[in-house]
Structure 1
């Protein structure tokens, strides 16, 4: 059995599909159109199949994006931190600790007027 030859999309159709951002439909269109010509499909069936291909591709992209945001890579979780012992000659020294904020400790800061005076 021979399959119909998939021709490239006409330039105008390719440009329009790029403009409205239909990458999955643009990728599937040459094969679908060749099959539709060979089997004399109804135009509505061609559109249904192309739109279904685009929806499937977008759903897959959404799943990949959600999976990535739910389970970020280990490097993205520690981005911007200094590994323990890096840049220090002391054993077990990690990133320098910041002093506690006066707002967190409940102590007043010098030069700030409070209602306690």
Structure 2
């Protein structure tokens, strides 16, 4: 993984962190399968929500997953390769509706940026007001 991971203890720590992340991921997949008769939520989304809740409650500490999650974030671009390959392979299917897909992507991206900007603006104003008090 990293050049500074030399000892057996470091390797075991990385393995433990990876098992925590994968355990939460597979728990999300299991929950997704269990609720699929009622409505569909992808297992990876449920897993991310579970990880978020476990981190906020304090059951999982950042230190428990710090190195492995840092490695995964550092190499995130690698995980987009399957998307690019699928786009290339399925381009004949996508070709008739590529304009609509492009428009939806642009509109949704602008919407997400605007909402995120507004939320950050509100949070900064609230933080400034708390400092004044």
TM-score, with structure 1 as normaliser: 0.30
Which has the larger Rg? Answer: 1
